[in-house]
Amino acid sequence: MKNRKNKSGSAGGIATFARILRYLKGNVVFLILSLILAAGTVALTLYLPVLIGETVDLAIGKGNVDLVGIIKILTRMAIVICVTAILQWVMSIINNRLTYSVVKNIRFEVFKKLQRLPISYSDAHPTGSIVSRVIADADKLGDGLLMGFTNFFIGVITIAGTLLFMLSINPWITLVVILVTPISLFVAAFIAKRTYSMFKLQSEINAQQTSLIDESISNANVVTAFGHEDELIEEFTEKNERLRKCSLKAIFFSSITNPSTRFVNSLVYAGVALSGALTVVATGGAEFSVGLLTCFLSYANQYTKPFNEISGVVAELQGAIASAAKIFEILDTPDEIPDAPDAFILDGENIDGTVELEDVYFSYVPEQKLIEGFNLKVKKGQRIAIVGPTGCGKTTLINLLMRFYDVNSGSIKVSGKDIREITRASLRDAYGMVLQDTWLKTDTIRNNITFGDTSITDEEMIAAAKATHAHSFIRRLPNGYDTVISESGTTLSQGQKQLLCITRAMLSNPHMLILDEATSSIDTRTEIKIQRAFAKMMEGRTSFIVAHRLSTIKDADVILVMKDGNVIEQGSHEELLAKNGFYTELYNSQFVNV
C-alpha cells in the first residue's frame, strides 16, 4: 500500500513538472539560448583541466621546466576563466527571466481563474489558504525552477562532456567511472521518490498556518474582545510544531542525498586515482603521463560534482513541484458555468422590475435541506422586506437572486426571463447592492465610491454623499475625497465604511436594489436620515430589504417572514401584526424587555 502511494506521488510529481514546462512555450528562444550558454560554459570549464595537465607536464623534471610555455598556458587559462564568468553571468540573467516569466504567467492565470470560479469555491476555502497558493507557493516554485535551470542544465551537459573527454583520453579508466555511476543515481532517485509527499504535506500545513494568521489579523478586535489570544497562540503553536516536524523530516530525507552521492563520488575519484596511477607506472608515463592523470582526476571530479548539485536541485524541485501541484488544483477547479452563447442581456429598455420565484428548491449541501417549494411574485417598484431568525435563508435568497448560486430546481425570473437564460453580468448590473459586510479597496474615497467610473462628475458624487450623510465626515478627512484608505478601512469606523458603500450603490443608479442589513452598523439617528434617502432611491425601483431591526421595514409593501427556508407568513406590517403570529412574536421581542 505504501509503495503504491509512493508510485502515485512520483507519477503525480512527473505530471506536474511536465505541466510546468508547458509554460516555457513563449520563452523557447531564451531556453535555447540558455542551453547554448550552458554548453559553452561547460566546454570552457572542461578545457581548463587540459591546460592544467599541459602545465603539469611542462613543470615535471629538474631542469626541464618550460617557463615560457607555462606562462603562455596560464594566459590562455586566464582568458578561458574570464569568458566562462561572462557566459555564466549572461546565463543567470536569462534563467532569471525564464523562471520569473513562468511564475508571472502561472500567477496571472491563477488570479484570472479566481475571477471565473463560482462563489461556492471561496465560500468553501479559507482566504489565507488561497492567498498562500497564489503568493507563497508561486514564490517557492520560482526558487525551485531557478535552481533547476541554473544547475540542472550545466550538470547534465557537464556529465556528458566529461564522459566524452575521458573516453578520448583513456576508455578503460572511464569504464571504472561509468560502472560506479548507477549507484549514485539509484541513491538520488530512491530518496527523491520519498521526499515529494513530505514536501507536499509541508506546503499544505504552511497554507493552514497562513490561513490562521490571516484570520487572526483580520479579526484581531474580536480575538481581543473575547480574550481568545491564549487559545489562538495554542492553535498556532500546534500548527507551527506540525510544520516544524514535517519540514525537518522533509529536509532530513532530502539532505541525505548529498552526502550519499558524495560518498559514491569519492569512490569514483579513488578508483580513477588508483587505476590512473597504476597505468602511469605501467607505461612509464609514455602513453599516460602525470599531466594526463591530473587532467583525468579533474574530469572525474567535475563528472561527479553535478550529481551532488543535481541531488540538491532534486530536493528543491520536490518542494517546487509540490507547491505547483497546489496551484494547479485551483486551475483545475471547474469554472462557473458560462453564459449560453445566446443568453439574454438585460438593459434599461427591457427591465420592467418584476421578479418571480416558482417552486424554488435549494440547499448548499444535499443532505441539509434549506429552501423548499419557495414561491414569490414581486411587482415593479414593490419593496419586499425579508425577516426571520438567523439561518432561516434570508441571505441565501439574496444569493439566488444575484445568481451567486443556481437553484436546484424551480426557477427565478426577472422581467419574465429565467435568470439562467440571462447573462450574469447584465443581471448583476441590474441590481444595486449594499451588504452588511462592507468592502473597500486600498484607494482614494473618490475611486471607492465611483468605482473608477470617470463619467461620474464631482457634483453627482457630492450630491450622493450628501444624500447618504457621508459628505460631512469625508470633508473632515485630510484630503477629502482624495484621501487614500486601506482595504480594511481602519481609519474609518464601521458605520462610515457602510455609508461609503451606500453612496456607491446610489451612484450606480440601479434598476433594482438589494439591501442586506445595509444600516446595521449605523447609529439610529443617522439611520433615520438614511432611510429617507433610501426611500427616495427606492421610488419606482423593485427593492429587496433584509433586516433584523423590524422598525426599519414598517413601510415595506410586502414583508416575507422566513423560518427554516420557507416563507411562513407574508403581508404588510399591519396585516402581519393583526395575524398575531410569528412576525408579531419577532416584532415584540425587539421592544419588550424580558
In angstroms, rounded to a whole number, what is the distance separating the alpha carbons of residues 219 and 466?
Answer: 31
Helices (H), 402-544: 424-430, 445-450, 458-467, 471-475, 494-507, 524-538
pLDDT at 90: 92
pLDDT at 5: 45
Residue that the C-alpha cell 547534465 belongs to: 156
Domains of the chain: 23-331 (1.20.1560.10), 355-589 (3.40.50.300)
Residue that the C-alpha cell 433594482 belongs to: 512
pTM of the full predicted structure? Answer: 0.65
Contacts 24+ apart (CB under 8 A), 518-527: 518/434, 518/435, 518/436, 518/545, 519/549, 519/552, 520/436, 520/548, 520/549, 521/436, 521/438, 521/493, 521/494, 521/495, 521/497, 522/495, 522/498, 523/495, 526/469, 526/495, 526/499, 527/552
In angstroms, rounded to a whole number, what is the distance separating the alpha carbons of residues 158 and 488?
Answer: 54
Which triple of cell numbers denotes residue 510? Answer: 440601479
pLDDT at 79: 92
In angstroms, rounded to a whole number, what is the distance separating the alpha carbons of residues 173 and 274?
Answer: 10
In angstroms, rounded to a whole number, what is the distance separating the alpha carbons of residues 50 and 39?
Answer: 17
pLDDT at 184: 67
Amino acid (1-letter code) at residue 206: N
- Which conformational region is residue 571 in: left (phi greater than 0), alpha (psi within -120 to 50 degrees), or beta? left
Which string of DSSP letters, residue by residue, matches 522-586? S-HHHHHHHHHHHHHHHTTSEEEEE-S-GGGGTT-SEEEEEETTEEEEEE-HHHHHHHTSHHHHH
In angstroms, rounded to a whole number, what is the distance separating the alpha carbons of residues 568 and 478?
Answer: 51
Which triple of cell numbers denotes residue 450? Answer: 465611483
pLDDT digit string (tens) for the chain, length 594 residues: 444 444 445 555 678 877 887 877 777 888 888 888 888 888 888 888 778 777 877 776 555 677 788 888 889 889 999 999 999 899 888 888 888 888 888 888 888 888 888 888 877 777 777 887 888 888 888 877 777 766 777 777 888 888 887 787 778 777 777 777 667 667 666 666 667 677 777 777 877 787 777 777 766 666 666 667 777 788 888 888 888 888 887 777 777 766 776 777 777 777 777 777 777 777 665 566 777 777 777 777 777 777 666 666 766 777 788 888 888 888 888 888 888 888 888 887 788 888 998 998 888 887 777 888 888 888 888 889 888 887 777 888 888 888 888 889 999 999 889 999 989 888 888 888 887 777 788 888 888 888 757 788 889 899 888 888 889 889 998 888 998 887 655 577 777 888 888 888 888 878 888 888 766 666 777 677 677 777 777 778 888 988 777 777 888 888 888 887 777 888 888 888 888 888 888 888 766 544
Q: Are 362 and 396 in contact (CB under 8 A)?
A: yes
Which triple of cell numbers denotes residue 1? Answer: 500500500
Which triple of cell numbers denotes residue 330? Answer: 485551483
Residue 593 Cα distances to 186, 310, 446, 564, 581, angstroms: 78, 74, 43, 26, 19
